[in-house]
Every structure is written in C-alpha cells, then in structure tokens.
C-alpha cells in the first residue's frame, strides 16, 4: 500500500528555473489539465513540435549544436558535396514563404533541418498544403486531424514532400519526432485507391507498399498507425506474421493486398518458399535503417530489395541514428537520394533530462535502483542527479536472464506493476506486456534491446539504463522511449568501474543535447576506437543479485538427487524390467535427461 501511495504521487521533478521560458508556454493548459492523464495534442502544436526550442534557451547546448552544424557543413564540403540545394535555399528558389509569425504553425525555418540532394522540394507548413500541392486525399487529411496530428513535425514537413515527389530519401530525425507518419502519409497518398476498389491496370497485382521494421512489436505499432490513417476506405493492410503469411499464400488474397508491414526475417522466409512476390512493390521503407543495414539483417534486406523489381520502385530509409558506415551502405541502395537531417545526428532531444549515476560495481546496482524507486524524501537534488521518478518507466538490461532476474527482484522488493519484455517470451506473452503497457497497467517495464527502437508507449516518464548500452546508438534509442512528441522525460544511466572507460563517450551525448555533465567527466580522455568497440561487452552475471544464487547450485543438486531416487524407486516397483541407463546422479540436466526408458523396448 505504501509503495502504491508513493508511486501514485506521479510527476517528474522538473527544473522550472532552467526552463522558465518554456514553463510559461505550458502554463495556460497546465491548470486546466491538472489531475488528468496527458492527452493527445489538440491543435496548437508549435511549443511541442518546435523540438529545438530548448536548444535556443540552453546556451551551452545551442553553442554545441551550432558548432556541430558548422562541423557537419565543413565535412560535407570536404566530401566534395557542393550541391547547394539545402532546404533553406531550395525553399527560397521554389516557393515564397510568408514571414508573419503565425503562432499556430511551427516555422520550419526555426527547426534545424538540412536537406541535401538535387532539387529538394519545398517543405510544407501545414498538412493541408499537401492537398493543394500533391492532391493528397481529403480522407487521409481528415484522418490526420481526427487523430490529433494537426501540424507536421520537422521530418514530416520536409520528408513528406520529398516522398510525394517520388524521390528516394535517407531521413534522420531524433526519436519521437514522428518519422512513422512521415513515410506513411506519402505512401498511402501515392497508392491512391485501394487495389480492391480500383479498376486501373497500372496498379498491377499484389502488394504495392512494404514497410520493414526490426521487431514484431514495432511492426505491430506501425501497422496500427497505418490503420488509423486508412480509416474509411477498404485498404488491405497486412501485419505479416506466421498466420497472415499462411493466409497470403493464397495468390488471390495477396493480389488484393495493398500494404505489408513485416520484420525482414518473416518476409524472407516466405520469399524463399515462393509464397509472396514483391515485383509490384512501388514503395519500400526501411524503418530503423541502421539496424536494418547491420550485419544481422543486411543479407535479408538485400534479398528483399532484389525482389522488389518494379521499375518505379521508391526506397526510403528512416532512423534516429545513422552511423557513417550504415549511411554509406544506405546511400548506395538509394537512387538520386535526398538526405534530410533534423537536429543533430545521433543526438537525443534536449527534452530528455539525462544523468549518469555511479554505482561502483554490479552488486551495488540493485540496492541503488531499489532505493531510487522507493525514495520518499523531498530533498532537492543536484543538477546532475536524477529527478524523482514517476511511472511508467522502462529499465534496460543487457541480457534476457538479467531482465528476468531484475523483474523478480523488483517484485520481491514490493515495487508494484512490474513487467518484463524480451525476445524469448512467447508471442502471446510479448503482446500481453505491450498491451498492459499501453493500458497503463504496467508501471515498471524491465526490458532488453528489443524495446529500444521505435516503440512509442505514450507518456513514458523515464528510462533507466541498468546496464550500460553497447553503443552510442543504442543509448540514443533506449532513452528515446521517453521525451516523445514534445513531452519531457528523464534518463538515468548506471555506471560501474568496469564501464568507466566508456563514460566520456556517453557523456558527450549528454553534453551535446544540453544535459549537465560533471566537469571531471569532461576532462577524461576519449576512449580509443578499439576500446570503444568493447563498450557494453562487460561480462555480467545472469543474476542481478549474486546473493540470490548462493546455495542455488547445491539446492538444484539435492533436488535432482531426490527426484532421481524417486524415479528409480517407481521403476523398480512397477517391475516391468525395462532396461534403463543408470541416472547421472545429481547432474545439472535433472529430470528426464538421464532416463532412456524410450529405448528400453528396442
Ligand atoms: N504531426 C504530429 N503531431 C502530433 N503528434 C505527432 C505528430 N506526428 C507524430 N506524432 C506522435 O509522436 C509520437 C512519436 O512518433 P513516432 O513513433 O513516429 O516517432 P519516431 O520519430 O518514429 O520515433 P523513433 O525514432 O523512436 O522510432 C507518436 O505518439 C505520434 O503519434
């Protein structure tokens, strides 16, 4: 009960002084909304969608950001890219922008967006411009409005026109800035009419739009967004799974399918069995592109791309992070692409208050976490310390056993509504957890990297990195589960002595996105490239509480011996005379492993 009262207090502690200007922006709606759940944005989105307003009020972050932009510009020049058609100049050339300060519309020029490539189309400032410029279906625009998506975010303002003009695109925009709609709106718009309601020959037969995402959960989420946009027409949109793949093995059914949303693995399995053709695909989207182009997924992506043989195939890649290597691969895959970057590459939004917390060693992590989650003191904390937590939060661990073990420990410590999500759970279990999270029934979700990318659980107040992330990209995506769609959030990262060599790497991310970092960390030397590759590879036990495993081995041994002797006795009593291999006494395998009774008959 006490824990319930503690947690139901809610509310992230927010540094009002630091964000004074922004607090004022929120004040009119704040009182009216007191005590209510955060709602979907109503209409005026500028304060929420001007993602870089914090950068403007936070001087060090701004300075850093500007320096970085200059650096990026220099780098691009050095690479011989003298194409001057960035978004700003192209807007000037192709369209006149009104200068009045219209508060209901985020001025694209206020956002740090760069778009490089030949003939970059002008950005839009409202979704309605899409109707005037590209004859975007009225129903689609109505569905945007109905779902509370009233003003395009930066990536939507720039990305949608590019895709509407049938150009390939590489889009990099921070987590939670609406990349999903940025590719779904043009895809649905360009597909025009559902194939089942169309008589025109040029639509061909079979799936025309394909979205690939790295996890089942993310594919499911994209599918739901797609359904929202497609309301009111008979679109056939398929979330590719074992069951739907079986249905689509019927050619008649798949000929009438408009859009497929899938993980690469599932789709390639069907391609190999010739249970799907992709020759009619005209729009191919890779979400979480850097993950899709990594060593694990790349062979499958290649196979999918090779199967998409339609002459007017449009390809687009989206991600919040795109390291140089992945970008090179991506650019080779795209035809005459436009590269759009919102904000700074590989940098979280300043909306996320990040802190690094020293916990000395593995065995100190659990007590630190439990005391954080049960802390009731109202003492003010230092600027670099984590704020008071409020549910829901996500806690990332490095492995599945550690996620399970941490969940058990948190339950044992009476933390309420704890759930776990990792890839070894059954599909049903995974779906149930996602559902509980969406319904607000789960307050603390312990998870692995499977949740790190793309998942949009509304209102996540914060993220705790219980285990140090493997890469900067992983860090950016993990903490990006909070601070989405203009909301604030916090991110706490625990570090031990073993993580210390990589501290500077993550501290730089904090600095770049405006979170305070103690001076001494900034003075640390940069880890070498070889060292950096070792990041996150620290060996950690399966149990987050090593004391929990003391005596476990002995207990297992004793249990196995008892079970073995019980079984032997039962067999002797039944006296059937079956031959059996003597039990390997006390072996870890335990029940069933030592018994060969099935062969006794032979
Ligand atoms: N134009 C808009 N106005 C208001 N909210 C929006 C708008 N576009 C998207 N959103 C909301 O913003 C949230 C984040 O969107 P989305 O999941 O597409 O982000 P993302 O950039 O793909 O993030 P990630 O990099 O983590 O995958 C969603 O809840 C979505 O409904």
Q: What is the tens place of the pLDDT at every residue in 167-184?
A: 999 999 999 999 999 999
Of ligand 1's listed atoms, the one at least distance from the Cα of 151 is: 1
pLDDT score recorded for residue 91: 38
User: Could you tell me if residue 228 is inside a domain?
Assistant: yes
Whether pLDDT at 70 is above 60: no
Quote the CA–CA distance of 168 and 76 in Å, as a whole number. 19
Which residues on neighbouring strands pair with residue 271, listed in sequence order? none
What confidence tier does 433 reach under pLDDT thresholds 50, 70, 90?
very high
Cα(383) to centroid(ligand 1), Å: 29
In this structure, how many other beta carbons lie within 10 angstroms of the beta carbon of residue 5? 9
Would you state the pLDDT for residue 238? Answer: 96
pLDDT at 383: 72
> Which ligand 1 atom is the nearest neighbour of the CA of 287?
27
CA 467 to mean position of chain CA atoms: 17
Q: What are phi and psi of 204, to 5 degrees?
A: 65, -165
Other Cβ atoms closer than 10 A to 57:
15
106 within domain boundaries: no
Provide the pLDDT for residue 595: 28
Q: Is there a contact between 435 and 457 (Cβ–Cβ < 8 Å)?
A: no
Q: Report d(CA 267, CA 269) in Å as an integer.
A: 5
Residue 498 DSSP class? T
Domain boundary among 509, 535, 561: 535
Return mean pLDDT, the chain: 80
Q: In 470-524, which ranges are E strands?
A: 489-496
Q: Which residues pair with 419 in a beta bridge?
A: 445
In a domain, 388, yes or no: yes
Mean predicted confidence (pLDDT) in 460-473:
95
Instruction: State in Å: Cα 159 to ligand 1 middle.
Output: 14
Position 580 in a domain: no
52 has a pLDDT exceeding 80: no
Calculate the alpha carbon distances from 556 to 249, 374, 564 in Å. Answer: 47, 33, 12
Domain hosting 117: range is: 113-342
Residue 178 CA, ligand 1 centroid: distance in Å: 3
Q: Atom 12, ligand 1: which residue's CA is nearest?
A: 485
**Residue 387's pLDDT is what?**
81
The pLDDT assigned to 18 comes to 55
Strands (E) across 410-450 are located at 418-421, 444-447
Question: 111 pLDDT band (50/70/90 cuts)?
Answer: low
Chain position carrying tokens 């569905």: 143
Q: Which of 38-47, 193-202, 328-337 has the lowest mean pLDDT?
A: 38-47
Can you tell me the distance from the alpha carbon of 321 to that of 314, in angstroms, rounded to the nearest whole number? 21
Q: How far is the CA of 597 from the centre of ligand 1 (A)?
A: 58
Based on the fold, state whether residues 334 and 384 are members of the same structural domain. Answer: no
* pLDDT exceeds cutoff 70 at 41: no
The secondary structure of 402-427, three-state, reads HHHHHHHHHHHCCCCCEEEECCCCCH
pLDDT of residue 569: 86
Residue linked to tokens 């695909």:
281
Task: Tell me the three-class secondary structure of 4-56, residue by residue.
Answer: HHHHHCCCCCCCCCCCHHHHHHHHHHHHHCCCCCCCCCCCCCHHHHCCCHHHH
**546 has pLDDT over 90:** no
Q: What is the mean pLDDT of residues 102-108?
A: 36
Please report the atom of ligand 1 found closest to the CA of residue 173.
21
Task: Say if CB 496 and CB 22 are below 8 A apart.
Answer: no
In three-state secondary structure terms, 354 is strand
What is the arithmetic mean of pLDDT over 213-217?
94
Give the residue among 390, 409, 384 at the shortest CA–CA distance from 518: 384
483 compared with 96, residue with greater pLDDT? 483
Q: Are 198 and 189 in contact (CB under 8 A)?
A: no
Nearest-CA residue for ligand 1 atom 8 is 178
Residues 370 and 439 in one domain: yes
Is 80 exceeded by the pLDDT of residue 421? yes
Q: Are 320 and 480 spatial neighbours (Cβ–Cβ below 8 Å)?
A: yes
State whether 211 and 359 are in the same domain: no
**312 shares a domain with 368:** no
Are 390 and 13 in contact by the 8 Å Cβ rule? The answer is no
**Residue 379 — pLDDT band, cuts 50, 70, 90?**
low
| pLDDT tens sequence across 123-132 | 999 999 999 9
Lowest mean pLDDT among 310-324, 492-506, 558-572: 558-572
Name which residue sits closest to atom 3 of ligand 1, judged by CA.
149
Sign, CA dihedral 227-230-233-236, equals negative
Residues 182 and 258 in one domain: yes
What pLDDT shows up at residue 590?
32
Is residue 579 a part of any domain in this protein?
no
pLDDT at 601: 27
> What's the pLDDT score for residue 25?
41
Closest-CA residue to 210 (of 126, 116, 280):
280
- pLDDT value at residue 539: 86
CATH of the domain at 309: 3.40.50.300
My answer on whether 299 and 259 are in the same domain is yes
On whether residue 474 sits in a domain, the answer given is yes
Bridge partners (DSSP) of residue 114 are 341
Q: Is residue 307 part of a domain?
A: yes
Distance of CA 601 from the midpoint of ligand 1 (Å):
63
Which domain-ending residue is among 288, 321, 342? 342
Centroid of ligand 1 to alpha carbon of 225 (angstroms): 10
Structural domain ending residue among the three candidates 280, 315, 342: 342
283 lies in the same domain as 389:
no
My answer on whether omega of the bond before 88 falls inside 30° of 0, hence cis, is no
Cα of 177 vs centre of ligand 1, distance in Å, is 5
DSSP reduced 3-state for 138: helix
The set of protein residues with a Cβ atom below 6 angstroms from ligand 1 is 41, 45, 149, 151-153, 156, 173, 175-181, 320, 454, 456, 480, 484-485
Burial of 401: CB neighbours in 10 Å, binned 0-12, 13-18, 19+:
middle
Higher pLDDT, 6 or 356: 356
In a domain, 380, yes or no: yes
Tell me the mean pLDDT in the region 274-293. Answer: 96
Reported as type and span, the H/E element at residue 360 is strand 352-360
Whether the predicted pLDDT of 434 surpasses 80 = yes
Percent of the chain surpassing pLDDT 90: 61
Query: Do 314 and 373 have their domain in common?
Result: no
Total structural domains within the chain: 2
- Is residue 391 domain-shared with residue 455, that is, in the same domain? yes
Split at pLDDT 50, 70, 90, the class of 261 is very high
Mean of pLDDT values over 8-32: 46
C-alpha–C-alpha distance, residues 72 and 78, integer Å: 10
Is 480 exposed, middle or buried (CB count within 10 Å of its CB: 0-12, 13-18, 19+)? buried
CA distance 32 to 52: 26
User: Which of 40, 127, 174, 178 for mutating ligand 1's site (highest number of atoms within 8 Å of CB)?
Assistant: 178
For residues 331 and 395, membership in a common domain is answered with no
Same domain, 371 and 334: no
Q: Phi, psi at residue 600, to the nearest 5°?
A: -60, -25
């Amino acid at each position: 009960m006490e824990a319930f009262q503690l947690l139901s207090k809610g509310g992230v502690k927010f540094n009002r002084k630091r964000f004074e200007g922004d607090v004022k922006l929120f004040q009119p709606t704040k009182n009216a909304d007191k005590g209510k759940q955060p709602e979907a944005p109503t209409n005026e989105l500028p304060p929420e969608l001007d993602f870089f307003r914090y950068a403007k009020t936070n001087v060090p972050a701004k300075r850093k950001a500007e320096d970085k932009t200059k650096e990026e510009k220099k780098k691009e020049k050095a690479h011989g890219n003298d194409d001057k058609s960035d978004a700003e100049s192209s807007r000037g050339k192709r369209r006149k922008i009104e200068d009045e300060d219209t508060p209901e519309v985020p001025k694209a020029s206020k956002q740090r967006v760069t778009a490089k490539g030949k003939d970059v189309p002008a950005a839009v400032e409202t979704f309605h411009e899409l109707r005037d410029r590209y004859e975007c279906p009225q129903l689609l625009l109505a569905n945007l409005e109905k779902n509370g998506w009233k003003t395009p975010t930066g990536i939507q303002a720039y990305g949608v026109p590019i895709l509407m003009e049938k150009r390939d695109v590489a889009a990099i925009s921070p987590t939670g800035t609406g990349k999903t709609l940025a590719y779904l709106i043009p895809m649905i718009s360009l597909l025009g009419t559902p194939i089942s309601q169309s008589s025109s020959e040029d639509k061909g037969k079979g799936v025309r739009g394909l979205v690939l995402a790295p996890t089942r959960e993310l594919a499911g989420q994209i599918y739901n967004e797609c359904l929202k946009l497609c309301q009111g027409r008979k679109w056939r949109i398929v979330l590719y799974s074992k069951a739907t793949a079986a249905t689509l093995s019927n050619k008649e059914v798949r000929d009438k399918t408009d859009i497929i949303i899938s993980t690469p693995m599932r789709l390639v399995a069907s391609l190999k069995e010739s249970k799907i053709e992709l020759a009619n695909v005209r729009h191919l989207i890779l979400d979480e592109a850097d993950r899709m182009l990594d060593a694990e997924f790349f062979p499958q992506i290649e196979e999918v791309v090779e199967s998409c043989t339609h002459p007017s195939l449009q390809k687009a890649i989206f991600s919040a992070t795109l390291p140089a290597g992945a970008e090179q691969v991506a650019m080779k895959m795209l035809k005459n692409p436009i590269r759009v970057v919102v904000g700074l590459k590989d940098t979280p939004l300043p909306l996320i208050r990040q802190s690094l917390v020293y916990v000395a060693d593995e065995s100190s992590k659990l007590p630190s976490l439990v005391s954080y989650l049960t802390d009731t003191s109202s003492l003010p904390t230092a600027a670099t310390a984590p704020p008071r937590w409020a549910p829901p939060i996500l806690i990332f661990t490095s492995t599945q056993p550690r996620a399970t073990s941490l969940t058990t420990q948190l339950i044992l410590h009476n933390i309420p509504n704890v759930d776990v999500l990792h890839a070894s759970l059954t599909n049903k279990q995974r779906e149930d957890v996602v559902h509980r999270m969406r319904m607000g029934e789960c307050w603390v979700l312990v998870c692995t990297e499977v949740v790190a990318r793309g998942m949009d659980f509304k209102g996540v107040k914060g993220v705790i990195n219980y285990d140090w992330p493997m890469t900067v990209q992983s860090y950016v995506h993990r903490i990006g589960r909070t601070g989405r769609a203009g909301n604030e959030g916090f991110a706490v990262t625990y570090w031990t002595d073993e993580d210390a060599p990589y501290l500077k790497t993550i501290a730089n991310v904090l600095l770049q996105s405006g979170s305070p970092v103690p001076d001494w960390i900034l003075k640390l030397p940069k880890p070498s490239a070889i060292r950096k590759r070792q990041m996150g590879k620290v060996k950690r036990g399966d149990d987050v509480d090593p004391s929990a495993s003391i005596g476990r081995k002995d207990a297992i041994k004793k249990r196995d011996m008892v079970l073995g002797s019980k079984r032997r006795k039962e067999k002797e009593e039944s006296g059937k005379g079956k031959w059996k291999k003597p039990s390997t006494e006390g072996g870890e395998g335990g029940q069933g492993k030592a018994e060969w009774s099935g062969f006794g008959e032979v």
